[in-house]
């Protein structure tokens, strides 16, 4: 597991999104922005130019540049000395600002990467904080197939050979999208939100017994996959005999909650037996869950209607 974020890591991850350019200080790309083994609190790695509480990435926006250019020669030199004495990992110019020659010279001297972006400083801060929070979020891996079904993140779980991959293939053919097969990495990106993605080695592939490894985008197009999705519901596939299915709760079904990284995720057990169309059952389970999120519970409505009918008969 990687514990550090370097300036080079940040460039690899966000260069395109933040439209970053390296102006000077290439030798400092290995500078450490954050080390999880040393820092115990949540990382706040970037912020506007600050001499008292300097961030690892000092961002110079329009206000900061106006302050610096308004200084006399000696005052500006002293300001830059204070800036580099704090040993920032990188300095970033936002809002299409032109660089200052003295700043580039000092960046090369102190081996501090000087970056530039055309985006606003607020956008840069939001993206960097989200990246670092996601990087160091609590993580776990779960066995199963993770899909986007009707816009919701659905994890199919169950014992080996229960039919998860075959069901996933049928759902993909019906227009839904694959995120991960066999192993899904989940990160807790907010107090009640889990984001799931596929390990790079397995990305885009689905294994189906008898057919082997299938490349989903090659067969069905790029729209058949997604790289990540929030986990919203778990569908647990369980082999059952007809009598076991008959004995299940009739009104509410087999609903419970499963705790993943401290977040409670709704889990529905769907019986696997000959003659049951699992793809339709999964789609229906997702639609029913969406209705519940909007406040409509069919079981509650039916119970209330039945109670009202009994009360009317008594009267």
Helix (H) or strand (E) holding 19: none
Catalytically annotated residue among 182, 238, 292, 297: 182
Catalytically annotated residue among 56, 65, 164, 226: 164
Is residue 257 located within the same domain as residue 224?
yes
Q: Is 143 a catalytic residue?
A: yes
Phi, psi of 124 (to 5 degrees): -65, -45
Is residue 9 located within the same domain as residue 93?
yes
Is residue 125 located within the same domain as residue 213?
no
Residue 29 · residue 8 · CB < 8 Å: yes
Q: Dig out the tokens for 135 from the structure.
A: 């990087």
Does 314 reside within a domain? no
Is residue 235 located within the same domain as residue 108?
no
Is residue 204 located within the same domain as residue 241?
yes
Phi, psi of 70 (to 5 degrees): -80, -5
Is residue 214 located within the same domain as residue 174?
yes
Distance (Å, whole) CA 136 – CA 42:
9
Distance (Å, whole) CA 130 – CA 139:
15
- Residue recorded with tokens 């066999």: 182
Q: Is 164 a catalytic residue?
A: yes
Residue 258 · residue 267 · CB < 8 Å: yes
182 three-class SS: coil
Catalytically annotated residue among 37, 250, 294, 314: 250
Report how many domains make up the chain: 2
Q: Is 9 a catalytic residue?
A: no
Domain extent, residue 241, equals 139-305
Is residue 107 located within the same domain as residue 155?
no
pLDDT by residue, tens only, the chain of 315 residues? 556 888 998 898 889 989 999 999 999 999 988 776 665 444 567 778 777 778 889 999 999 999 888 989 889 889 998 999 989 999 999 999 988 888 999 999 999 999 999 999 889 988 888 888 777 778 899 999 999 999 999 999 999 889 899 999 999 999 999 999 999 999 888 889 999 999 888 999 999 988 999 999 999 999 999 999 999 999 999 988 877 777 777 767 778 999 999 999 999 999 988 888 999 999 999 999 999 999 988 888 888 888 888 888 877
Annotated binding site for Mg(2+): 165, 207
The pTM score is: 0.67
């Amino acid at each position: 597991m990687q514990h550090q974020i370097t300036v080079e890591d940040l460039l690899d991850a966000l260069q395109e999104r933040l439209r970053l350019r390296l102006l000077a200080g290439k030798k400092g790309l290995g500078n450490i922005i954050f080390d999880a083994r040393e820092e115990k609190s949540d990382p706040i790695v970037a912020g506007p130019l600050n001499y008292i509480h300097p961030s690892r990435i000092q961002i110079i926006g329009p206000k900061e540049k106006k302050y610096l250019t308004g200084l006399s020669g000696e005052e500006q030199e002293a300001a830059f000395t204070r800036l580099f004495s704090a040993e920032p990992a990188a300095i970033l110019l936002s809002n299409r600002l032109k660089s200052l020659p003295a700043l580039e010279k000092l960046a090369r001297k102190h081996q501090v990467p000087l970056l530039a972006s055309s985006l606003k400083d607020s956008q840069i801060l939001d993206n960097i904080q989200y990246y670092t929070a996601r990087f160091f979020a609590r993580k776990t891996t779960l066995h199963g197939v993770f899909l986007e079904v009707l816009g919701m993140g659905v994890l199919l779980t169950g014992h080996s050979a229960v039919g998860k991959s075959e069901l996933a293939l049928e759902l993909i053919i019906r227009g839904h999208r694959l995120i991960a097969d066999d192993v899904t990495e989940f990160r807790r990106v907010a107090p009640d939100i889990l984001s799931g993605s596929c390990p790079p080695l397995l990305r885009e592939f689905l294994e189906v017994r008898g057919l082997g490894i299938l490349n989903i985008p090659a067969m069905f197009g790029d729209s058949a996959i997604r790289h990540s999705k929030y986990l919203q519901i778990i569908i647990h596939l369980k082999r059952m005999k007809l009598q076991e299915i008959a004995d299940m709760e009739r009104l509410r079904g087999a609903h419970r909650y499963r705790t993943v990284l401290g977040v409670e995720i709704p889990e529905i057990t769907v019986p696997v037996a000959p003659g049951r169309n699992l793809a339709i059952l999964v789609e229906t389970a997702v639609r029913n869950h969406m209705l519940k999120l909007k406040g409509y519970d069919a079981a509650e409505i039916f119970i209330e209607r039945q109670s009202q009918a009994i009360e009317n008969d008594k009267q």
